[in-house]
Structure 1
Amino acid sequence: MLADKRILLIIGGGIAAYKALELIRLLRKEGAAVTPVLTKAGAEFVTPLSVSALAGEKVFTQLFDLTDEAEMGHIQLSRVADLLVVAPATADLMAKMAQGRADDLASTLLLATDTPVMVAPAMNVRMWQHPATQRNIATLQGDGVRLVGPDEGEMACGEYGPGRMAEPAAILAAIRGALAAGPLAGRHVLVTSGPTHEPIDPVRYIANRSSGAQGTAIAGALRDLGARVTFVTGPAAVPAPEGVQVVRVETAREMLEAVEAALPAEAAVMAAAVADWRVANESGHKIKKMAGAALPVLEFAENPDILKSVAQSTDRRPRLVVGFAAETDDVLAHAQAKRARKGCDWIVANDVSPATGIMGGAENAVTLITASGVEDWPRLPKDEVARRLAQRIAEALA
């Protein structure tokens, strides 16, 4: 799939550098040529010899190398590639990128290029969550840099949380998407998916039956058309698609915050089944069932309306906002009213009454409601619904 493509791979310093070796192998297997750049810190974890052996090419390490500068030069090196990939992208490297610094070969290449750039962050969870890193990430994404990962899991330092570099297969999928000559190439699309969980106490919550399968399929279909996808998902029953930027949340308020952080985008597909209410008197400890005691009383508060917030934004509204309406009766009437009330461009409506088997199932039967009219789609696998919707989005943005 990547035949005749050239990847400039910058390997930063971190224990995750060993994954870059597997990434090189996967890229070569798909026909890509890999030009490796190894930072001084990266060379503390993998050797130039191992990188060169897998890439089949010379490893570049020094900015002030007389031979390299005479033969090619760092300016040309940064521009002959189809994509620049930084894996692992350390906090330091991303800070240099965000600030426009160029004090070594890697940072100079990244500043001297007009080629698309992708980063696969890898760092300690505290470093990832630090406000400075999050500011830098926001700056890079605003500059058009693609992000893949990080994953959540156990760190080499023994801590647990987000910060693990994405697996090589996921980075490969993201590279495929970035280089896809699809109709959405270079466009940023936001997708929300899954349910939200609204806590009652530390062990109980209010949720719904959404599996997240349809939203996940939509994110994958948009990726396959070349889009840079930010995928904001609640606790879904299906794994997130590879090759997209995944932001995991629990509650509706967390989802709103993540959505606002992901904007601007050219399109937003709001497929998440967001809880309409949360428990206002959430308990800080487990509510105990006591013999003879009165039943607990739950007080409800309205959750933020994420779809309405995005659709009616005055400064960062996407060109196309697509909402979803999961109904159990009067589907068309409720969905048309929702489109008018929320201010979104399209509504994808479906009947999720128990007899349909759609919520949590493998198939969907939707009605697409736009300003132009109403389209009833046949019952299809959710992947095919996603493919059709992604193609319609591409046509609308063309």
Structure 2
Amino acid sequence: MGKFELIATSAFGIEAVTARELKKLGYTEQRVENGRVTFTGDETAICRTNLWLRTADRVLLKMGEFKATSFEELFEQTKALPWDEIIPVDAEFPVEGKSIDSKLFSVPDCQAIVKKAVVEKLKLRYKCEWFQETGARYRIEVALLKDVVTLTVDTSGAGLHKRGYRKLVGGAPLKETLACAMLLISHWNKDRVLLDPFCGSGTIPIEAALIGKNIAPGLGREFDSEKWGIIPGEVWDRARDEAYDTMVEDRELRIHGSDIDEEAMSLARYHAKKAGVEDAVHLQRLPMSDISSRYKYGIIICNPPYGERLGEKEQVEKLYREMGTVFKKLESWSYYIITSNLEFEKLFGKKADKKRKLYNGKLLCNYFQYFGPPPPKFAEDKDKIIG
């Protein structure tokens, strides 16, 4: 098996979380940059990272990196790369691109030049003038940043946030990858009670259950690189077998999700069933004001309304004040709340112990972290959320 340079892309602000996931999988040789973690691995690494990474957007195979300030340089250096070692004669190879602070700023032109260069390289190998592109997909990306060109091939296909369970989507959905980042940043673990009082279609509770049961998030979907000739089918089979063998299906978890919207709760129940975790997630329609708990040391992780829409500001401000009152009653609990509202701490009535900038889509948010006391080491956690 050969060694590849791979890139796990992620949203800004969670690169360190993705790097920690990669280290846990055994890929310690890495470089963390804005929006990506570069690491090395073989064919098995492509399979395992696509199956297991919870916070990454995609896993890319890096073909090359060089400086280019003219289309001629872009063409010649692209053509020099070993595309023929990766891409078969019948492959579909669309080219996508982006350019930031570079002399070659026209993305369509850069895409056309790269496509032409790859075609010319493949002509030399396969001795033909036309490629039908009817086979497996090898999506190429040309990314320019300050005149440095990075060329990659996408191993994932659809973004890794598409786990396969969320067929229906409610309003303002939270990406699965961001939900997992929020969980991993909080250091929630399977022994502690978790509550999301604004669970909507269920993303945070479901992702927590997947973590708690050690279910690889990519088990319910396919990846473009499963059809690639450079990765034998048995390598994918072994990676999937490993994922199935390490699942812990009988683990007792206390994960709760609630929302005032009954339609959202119906979606959440449907998604939990599709994800195979309906036995691990307790979902109920419940106003946030009715949340209470008999026991201690639980964790709230939530994505409340932000008040971005016209006419919602006063309603959201009232909600944040109410959250401060309700959450305060859970004296030994920790709270983790994401919102773009800059007045949150003032309205909530308490300054966060820690803040972290995260992006919910293109919206810059703060992840407000309030640390409760740690639970006694051997305390039994019998938490039950009641209304």
Normalised to the residue count of structure 2, the TM-score between the two structures is 0.25
Structure having greater relative contact order (Cα 8 Å, sep ≥ 6):
2
Normalised to the residue count of structure 1, the TM-score between the two structures is 0.25
